A and B are shown apart, each in its own frame.
Chain A
Amino acid sequence: MSEQNQNFRAGVKDWIKDNFPSTLKGQNPATVGYAAALEDDHDLWRQRLAEKGWGAPTWPKEYGGAGLGQREERTINDELSNADAFNPIPGIALMGVTMVGPTILDYGTEEQKIRHLIPIARGEVKWCLGLSEPGAGSDLASLRTRAVDDGDHYVVNGSKIWTSGAHQSQWCGAVVRTDPDAKKRNGISFVMLPMDQEGVDPQPIKLISGASAFCETFFNDAIAEKSDLLGPLNEGWSVVKRLLQHERQSQIGARTAGFRSEPMQDLAKRYIGVDGDGKLNDGDLRQRLTKHLIDRQAHSLTLARIAAEAKGKVEVSAAASILKNSATNVSQTRADLTLEIMGDQGLGWEGDTFDAKELETVRAWLYGMASSIAGGSFEVQYNIISKNILGLPETTQQG
């Protein structure tokens, strides 16, 4: 490690020590839930991070970030984790820090960047995204929600589905049809509109995991200001594509980082036991667990290889394109195996027959089924790899 990096790390460590409220140790709302009794401390910590620009450290300072590189961002995350601390701002902002913000950085006007990015980076606003529709899932470009020009604003009508956190959000980034006569991918625009208005009605959808993180959101003559059109009119498809790239990027790390802390093999030994040679009692499970751990290590090594390629300034290989499906495969298999390892203890819904980890495993497994559907399904990713990376011709099937 260079001296400069060491100094930066030491500075980060000191700052966290001086500023992180000790009452919040291990109280990351993303993993243990939000404790109302700690509200003041949570807000103080959020404000301190926001002042430092560490809600979104890689964003430019003038838009609420700290103007740092990815390496420094990793250092901050490492040191937060070492101090049993956390950055709550991406969680608070919902789609704001990971997806909407980076897309505004790419396509926004100066005025839009100032107006929207700063509150996101400070964790003062929640954003949702209106992408899929009941009739437009993997085939996103067949969307029908209309936005009609009405002088200084657009009037939006239609409905969006799987809008995560829409019932809590203040803003929505929505992809809408602005030219109904144009061909599928033309005539689409990306607008940003406030959720707190009469014409917007988010209705939570209960999922198989019991959670209601997603909504169907109805737009009835909702208003989007023209100053909130992101990117050029009728060229919103390219904005969406960029947005989805940011989404894939955010999913690669997040899904792998969300793993249980106890190594799988230890969990398996605890629940299943070992024979005289120290091998798992269930020989078939042992083999499948090993295949999974090898998949997982291959995935981590590929992440590391891409990082090394980027640093070594060799041409970054097409490997990046495979990461979403690989990450999904690893995380879903892991959840499936964890459940199997727990046996009947992996069937709990509620009640004290099961411990908290066991209950969490069931919910996480169910919720995780979405990871091969959302953000471009497993099959859509394969379409992207075969066409864009391997250069195979457009499929003759429609879609």
Chain B
Amino acid sequence: MAALTDEQTLMRDQAKIWASKQAPVNKFRAMRDSCIEQRFDAQTWSEIIEMGWTGILVPEEYGGSDLDYLAFGIVLEELGRHLTASPLFASALVGATALNIAGSGTQKQTFLPKIVDGSEILTLAIDESNQHAPADISLKAQVTDAGYRLNGKKGFVLEGMAATTFVVATRTSGEKGDTNGITLFLIPADSPGLKRELISTMDSRGYANISFEGVEVPADAVLGVLDQGWEPLDAILDRARAGLGAEMLGCAAQAFDMTLEYLKTREQFGEVIGSFQALGHRAAALFTGLELARSCAEAALQAIDEEAHNIPQMCSLSKSRLSDYLHEMSTQLIQIHGGIGMTDEFDAGFYLKRARALEGRYGNAGFHRDRYASALGY
């Protein structure tokens, strides 16, 4: 764990206690079984808002606490441990980041206070295929007399059913794959012509497919500069990746703790199974991986906070490392638990499913290794 400020320590303790008492995994289980369309429980969300975590990245003048990404990461790590379902990440990290980076004064004034009080839920609508390819944007925004008209589709939009406003990456010029000609928009979810459909995913998170059929928006719906959305988009995505890294770290840490506990209590052949060297060494390897992964996740958040020169490299480091590690740890969680790990009654499966869903979100390990190599110039 990074050396924390007093504020960050307070936040960690608060998140640890709240998540383990008020939002443990059985809350997630109950939510899954209830089949609520928005895929989180309203009470949990309102408690999160009450604790002020929606304002961590929002400047004080807009009602937030103006803290930093490491503080947000600490909270996401604790929530990740318990798979706490909420739109906190999508709205208060990704949405608030989009406004902080690209928003006009009016847009910030309109949206940031509402992100803090929860009356707006923002989310980023980016990918259009089954692989993360942020420049592969075909969704067209055409100029009209009154502003723009949007036509196209976005898939796997996180918290897409609960969102009140979408941050949408569109093509205003050039071809799919070009980094030039991308424009970001703020689009209200209730816009005529916008349709959303819940995607039932194995990890029970609130993903949606969104279609835009002649959605009309005024000119001031543009977030940032026309045709020059790539740079802010890349920066927003990096912060989202670092945030996911922290959530994945929490998932992995919990999976490790569950596995270690099982190694100490499960008996076979007349012995506690953790006394078998094959399993002791596997646990040592997983622990080593966890410590190294933690360093990467925290360093990416710190690089953002320090406005380091190598933020893309650090965020790709974090996302690739955590994708690899969580993949391995969640697989071993099932393997070491044996038969009980295969049952729905036990929680291990939740972590396996969440792991696979997060691994590819905003770029899988291979995507980020390629990006890391390019950042280093080979």
Residues of B272-292 contacting chain A, CB below 8 A: 272, 274-277, 279-281, 283-285, 287-288, 291-292
Of the candidates A265, A302, A311, A386, which one forms a contact with B284 in the assembled complex, judged by CB atoms under 8 Å apart?
Answer: A386
**B288–A312 contact, CB under 8 A?**
no
Collect the chain A residues with CB atoms within 8 Å of residue B1's CB. Answer: 309, 314, 317
Q: How far apart sit A385 and B370, CA to CA, in the bound complex (Å)?
A: 33
Collect the chain B residues with CB atoms within 8 Å of residue A393's CB. Answer: 264, 271-272, 274-275
Closest A residue by C-beta to B293 = A298
Collect the chain B residues with CB atoms within 8 Å of residue A305's CB. Answer: 2, 294-295, 298-299
| Most chain B CB inside 10 Å of its own CB: which residue of A317, A318, A382, A389 | A382
* Distance from B279 Cβ to chain A, minimum over Cβ atoms (Å): 8
Q: How far apart sit A195 and B370, CA to CA, in the bound complex (Å)?
A: 55
Residues of A237-276 contacting chain B, CB below 8 A: 263, 265, 268-269, 274
Closest A residue by C-beta to B366 = A287
Residues of A289-317 contacting chain B, CB below 8 A: 289-291, 293-295, 297-299, 301-302, 304-305, 308-309, 311-312, 314, 317
Collect the chain B residues with CB atoms within 8 Å of residue A265's CB. Answer: 373, 376-378
**B275–A396 contact, CB under 8 A?**
yes
**A326–B288 contact, CB under 8 A?**
yes
Q: How far apart sit A308 and B1, CA to CA, in the bound complex (Å)?
A: 10
**B2–A392 contact, CB under 8 A?**
no
Of the candidates A319, A379, A392, which one forms a contact with B291 in the assembled complex, judged by CB atoms under 8 Å apart?
Answer: A319
**A290–B369 contact, CB under 8 A?**
yes
**B291–A317 contact, CB under 8 A?**
yes
**A322–B4 contact, CB under 8 A?**
no
Of the candidates A301, A318, A386, which one forms a contact with B283 in the assembled complex, judged by CB atoms under 8 Å apart?
Answer: A386
Q: How far apart sit A268 and B378, CA to CA, in the bound complex (Å)?
A: 9
Per the CB 8 Å criterion, the residue count for chain A at the interface is 50
**A392–B292 contact, CB under 8 A?**
no
Q: How far apart sit A360 and B4, CA to CA, in the bound complex (Å)?
A: 43
Of the candidates B263, B264, B285, B317, which one forms a contact with A294 in the assembled complex, judged by CB atoms under 8 Å apart?
Answer: B317
Q: How far apart sit A265 and B2, CA to CA, in the bound complex (Å)?
A: 29
Q: Is the interface of B mostly helix, strand, loop or mixed?
A: helix
Q: How far apart sit A383 and B40, CA to CA, in the bound complex (Å)?
A: 43
Of the candidates A263, A385, A387, A392, which one forms a contact with B263 in the assembled complex, judged by CB atoms under 8 Å apart?
Answer: A392
Of the candidates A279, A298, A311, A383, which one forms a contact with B378 in the assembled complex, judged by CB atoms under 8 Å apart?
Answer: A279
Could you mark each residue 295-307 of chain B with 1 if its beta carbon is under 8 Å from any beta carbon of chain A, else 0?
1101100000000
With A318-B291, A322-B292, A392-B264 as contacts: A379 and B376 at CB distance below 8 Å: no
Of the candidates A290, A298, A304, A319, which one forms a contact with B373 in the assembled complex, judged by CB atoms under 8 Å apart?
Answer: A290
**A312–B3 contact, CB under 8 A?**
yes
A280 at the binding interface (Cβ < 8 Å): yes
**A312–B4 contact, CB under 8 A?**
yes
**B295–A395 contact, CB under 8 A?**
no
Collect the chain A residues with CB atoms within 8 Å of residue B279's CB. Answer: 392
B18 at the binding interface (Cβ < 8 Å): no
Q: How far apart sit A248 and B3, CA to CA, in the bound complex (Å)?
A: 24
Collect the chain A residues with CB atoms within 8 Å of residue B277's CB. Answer: 383, 395, 397
Q: How far apart sit A263 and B370, CA to CA, in the bound complex (Å)?
A: 18
Of the candidates A279, A297, A325, which one forms a contact with B288 in the assembled complex, judged by CB atoms under 8 Å apart?
Answer: A325
* Distance from B152 Cβ to chain A, minimum over Cβ atoms (Å): 29
Q: How far apart sit A124 and B61, CA to CA, in the bound complex (Å)?
A: 67
**B4–A314 contact, CB under 8 A?**
yes
Closest A residue by C-beta to B371 = A290
Q: How far apart sit A302 and B291, CA to CA, in the bound complex (Å)?
A: 7
A355 at the binding interface (Cβ < 8 Å): no
Collect the chain B residues with CB atoms within 8 Å of residue A389's CB. Answer: 284, 287
B45 at the binding interface (Cβ < 8 Å): no
Collect the chain B residues with CB atoms within 8 Å of residue A293's CB. Answer: 372-373, 376
Q: How far apart sit A322 and B274, CA to CA, in the bound complex (Å)?
A: 19
Q: How far apart sit A295 and B325, CA to CA, in the bound complex (Å)?
A: 12
Q: How far apart sit A391 and B263, CA to CA, in the bound complex (Å)?
A: 10
**A382–B321 contact, CB under 8 A?**
no
A32 at the binding interface (Cβ < 8 Å): no
B254 at the binding interface (Cβ < 8 Å): no
Of the candidates B4, B295, B366, which one forms a contact with A301 in the assembled complex, judged by CB atoms under 8 Å apart?
Answer: B295
* Distance from A313 Cβ to chain B, minimum over Cβ atoms (Å): 8
Closest A residue by C-beta to B272 = A393
* Distance from B81 Cβ to chain A, minimum over Cβ atoms (Å): 17
Collect the chain A residues with CB atoms within 8 Å of residue B276's CB. Answer: 395-396
With A322-B291, A390-B260, A392-B264 as contacts: A279 and B281 at CB distance below 8 Å: no
**A379–B287 contact, CB under 8 A?**
no
A278 at the binding interface (Cβ < 8 Å): yes
Residues of B1-35 contacting chain A, CB below 8 A: 1-4
Q: How far apart sit A322 and B280, CA to CA, in the bound complex (Å)?
A: 14
**A294–B378 contact, CB under 8 A?**
no
With A265-B378, A325-B288, A391-B264 as contacts: A308 and B321 at CB distance below 8 Å: no
Q: How far apart sit A196 and B374, CA to CA, in the bound complex (Å)?
A: 58
Collect the chain B residues with CB atoms within 8 Å of residue A386's CB. Answer: 274, 280-281, 283-284
* Distance from A304 Cβ to chain B, minimum over Cβ atoms (Å): 8
Of the candidates B2, B293, B372, B373, which one forms a contact with A279 in the assembled complex, judged by CB atoms under 8 Å apart?
Answer: B373
**B3–A298 contact, CB under 8 A?**
no
B320 at the binding interface (Cβ < 8 Å): yes
A286 at the binding interface (Cβ < 8 Å): yes
Of the candidates A301, A311, A379, A385, which one forms a contact with B3 in the assembled complex, judged by CB atoms under 8 Å apart?
Answer: A311
Q: How far apart sit A390 and B272, CA to CA, in the bound complex (Å)?
A: 14
A394 at the binding interface (Cβ < 8 Å): yes
Collect the chain A residues with CB atoms within 8 Å of residue B378's CB. Answer: 265, 268-269, 274, 278-280, 286, 289
Closest A residue by C-beta to B277 = A395
**B285–A382 contact, CB under 8 A?**
yes
* Distance from B365 Cβ to chain A, minimum over Cβ atoms (Å): 9
Chain B residues proximal to chain A, CB less than 8 Å: 1-4, 260, 263-264, 271-272, 274-277, 279-281, 283-285, 287-288, 291-296, 298-299, 317, 320-321, 366, 369-370, 372-374, 376-378
The 4 closest A-B pairs by CB, nearest first: A312-B3, A386-B280, A385-B284, A301-B295
Q: Pull 8 A–B residue pairs with CB atoms less than 8 Å apart, ordered by A.
A: A269-B378, A280-B378, A293-B372, A298-B296, A299-B292, A383-B280, A395-B277, A397-B277
